[in-house]
């Protein structure tokens, strides 16, 4: 059952259909070549920008579409069904690139930076993860000190999405800016690409998400104006947690799309593949496997729908976002494994989408909070500190 057949209003149903058509007609035909070349197809990104996808959950005054996070999730799910690399480009471009500026930026920062980000003319990255600071973001070692009217930044970041494309404009980095009450004071600072002392390293050779842009970053005395502080000084850690809560809903939508893509491919293949004189789909073992795949998709979709509805209604959604992210990433990984098994030897060939989903889906259990972190969030919400 496609997303547009769920309990959506007319506008949401039309968006889901539009995005499914775009994914099938524009994204999917380019997916294998982009994956093989390890290149983000910027012309497709431009089309996504022209469609207003990067501006979906933002007000019209900044060039957005005046929509909500649920609409963004519908777009990400549809694209993730056929190409996770492009889906994560959209997800990170919105959740990690533009959203911090919208949430915590000054009026001047919003007016300067948001129009290009929301139109898809520019991308931005969020530099959080470091070699010694992943899930334990409090272990951040990158530092920023004030020297007159400039921040001087030293340190490194790793695994940063959208940080090295031809249209990347800046990265927002977390850095230790001092000490407060005996603990690190962590702030977020905007660092434009091309800043002297800021180096974008070579792209990673990743297991999956081959067409997604991901780089390590190095800062060696990189200087930016004091006005590039994003949000209140010392609130960087708290602000980042809020951004991740929202981002987990978008990742859950992406993972649901991946799980759906694997389900659809498995149904098609099992119906056309003949084994011992009959269609593979006639074997009860295969039927049960596919039935479980369908149940995972349904559960994952309901979970991210619920979390997104809560977020858009201004209600608490932290626990629900964690549940959605945990449930959907498990669904994506389990469905990718089962689909690959159904495809047999063909499932091990990268030309088949299920093979790419098998490689791509593992990171969904790691990025924007590991499955273990989601379990911790859920346990704490139950009072199990």
Dist. CA 354–CA 336, nearest whole Å = 6
3-state secondary structure of 210: coil
Q: Are residues 55 and 71 in the same domain?
A: yes
Summarize pLDDT for 34-44 with one digit per residue, the tens.
999 999 999 99
Dist. CA 329–CA 325, nearest whole Å = 6
Which residue in 365, 375, 381 sits closest to 332, CA to CA? 365
Q: Are residues 108 and 173 in the same domain?
A: no
Domain boundary among 70, 93, 122: 122
DSSP string, 75-112: HHHHHHTT-HHHHHHHHHIIIIIIHHHHHH--HHHHHH
Q: Are residues 189 and 171 in the same domain?
A: yes
Which residue in 378, 363, 258 sits closest to 320, CA to CA? 378
The CATH number linked to 199 is 2.40.110.10
Chunk the chain into consecutive blocks of 10 residues (it has 385) and report each block's average pLDDT, rounded to whole numbers: 79 96 98 97 97 97 95 98 98 96 97 97 95 76 96 97 97 94 91 98 97 98 98 90 91 98 98 89 95 98 98 97 98 98 95 96 95 96 91
Q: Are residues 307 and 212 in the same domain?
A: no
Given 39, 179, 368, 372, the catalytic residue: 368
Domain boundary among 104, 122, 140: 122
Q: Are residues 347 and 323 in the same domain?
A: yes
CB 95 within 8 A of CB 243: yes
Dist. CA 225–CA 108, nearest whole Å = 14
What is residue 135's predicted lDDT score, i.e. its pLDDT? 66
Which residue in 80, 89, 4, 91 sits closest to 336, CA to CA? 80
The CATH number linked to 93 is 1.10.540.10
Q: Are residues 329 and 376 in the same domain?
A: yes
**For the chain, how far is it from start to end, CA to CA, in angstroms?**
39
Asked about 351 being catalytic, the answer comes back as no
Q: Are residues 308 and 196 in the same domain?
A: no
Q: Are residues 377 and 244 in the same domain?
A: yes
What is residue 137's predicted lDDT score, i.e. its pLDDT? 65
Dist. CA 112–CA 106, nearest whole Å = 10
Dist. CA 101–CA 159, nearest whole Å = 20
CB burial of residue 341 (10 Å; 0-12, 13-18, 19+): middle
3-state secondary structure of 125: strand
Q: Are residues 105 and 116 in the same domain?
A: yes
Summarize pLDDT for 264-294 with one digit per residue, the tens.
999 999 999 988 888 899 999 999 999 999 9
Dist. CA 276–CA 104, nearest whole Å = 62
What is residue 139's predicted lDDT score, i.e. its pLDDT? 85
Q: Are residues 259 and 358 in the same domain?
A: yes
Name the domain count of the chain.
3
Range of the domain at 332: 238-381
> What is the enclosing helix (H) or strand (E) of 44?
helix 42-50
What is residue 131's predicted lDDT score, i.e. its pLDDT? 87
CB 255 within 8 A of CB 332: yes
Global pTM value:
0.95
Q: Are residues 198 and 318 in the same domain?
A: no
Q: Are residues 152 and 271 in the same domain?
A: no
């Amino acid at each position: 059952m496609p997303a547009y057949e769920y309990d959506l209003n007319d506008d949401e149903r039309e968006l889901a259909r539009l995005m499914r058509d775009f994914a099938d007609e524009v994204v999917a035909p380019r997916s294998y070549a982009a994956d093989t070349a390890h290149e983000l197809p910027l012309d497709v990104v431009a089309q996504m920008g022209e469609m207003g996808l990067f501006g979906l959950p933002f007000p019209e005054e900044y060039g957005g579409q005046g929509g909500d996070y649920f609409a963004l999730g519908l777009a990400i799910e549809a694209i993730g069904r056929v190409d996770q690399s492009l889906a994560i480009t959209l997800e990170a471009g919105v959740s990690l690139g533009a959203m911090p500026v919208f949430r915590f930026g000054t009026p001047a920062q919003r007016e300067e930076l948001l129009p290009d980000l929301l139109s898809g003319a520019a991308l931005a990255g969020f530099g959080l993860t470091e070699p010694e600071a992943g899930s334990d973001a409090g272990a951040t070692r990158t530092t920023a000190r004030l020297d007159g009217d400039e921040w001087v930044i030293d340190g490194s970041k790793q695994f940063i999405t959208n940080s090295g494309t031809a249209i990347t404009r800046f990265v927002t980095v977390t850095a230790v800016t001092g000490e407060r009450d005996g603990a690190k004071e962590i702030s977020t600072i905007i660092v434009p690409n091309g800043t002297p002392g800021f180096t974008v390293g070579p792209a990673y050779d990743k297991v999956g998400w081959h067409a997604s842009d991901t780089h390590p970053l190095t800062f060696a005395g990189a200087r930016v104006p004091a006005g590039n502080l994003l949000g209140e000084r010392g609130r960087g850690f708290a602000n980042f947690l809020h951004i991740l809560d929202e981002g987990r809903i978008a990742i859950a939508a992406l993972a649901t799309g991946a799980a759906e893509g694997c389900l659809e491919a498995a149904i098609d293949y099992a119906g056309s593949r003949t084994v011992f004189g009959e269609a593979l789909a006639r074997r009860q073992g295969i039927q049960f496997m596919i039935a479980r795949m369908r149940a995972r998709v349904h559960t994952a979709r309901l979970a991210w729908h619920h979390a997104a509805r809560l977020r858009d209604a201004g209600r608490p959604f932290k626990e629900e976002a964690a549940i959605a992210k945990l449930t959907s990433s498990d669904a994506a990984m389990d469905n990718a494994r089962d689909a690959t098994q159904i495809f047999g030897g063909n499932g091990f060939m990268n030309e088949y989408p299920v093979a790419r989903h098998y490689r791509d889906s593992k990171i969904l259990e790691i990025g924007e909070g590991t499955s273990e972190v989601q379990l911790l969030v859920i346990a704490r919400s139950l009072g199990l500190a």
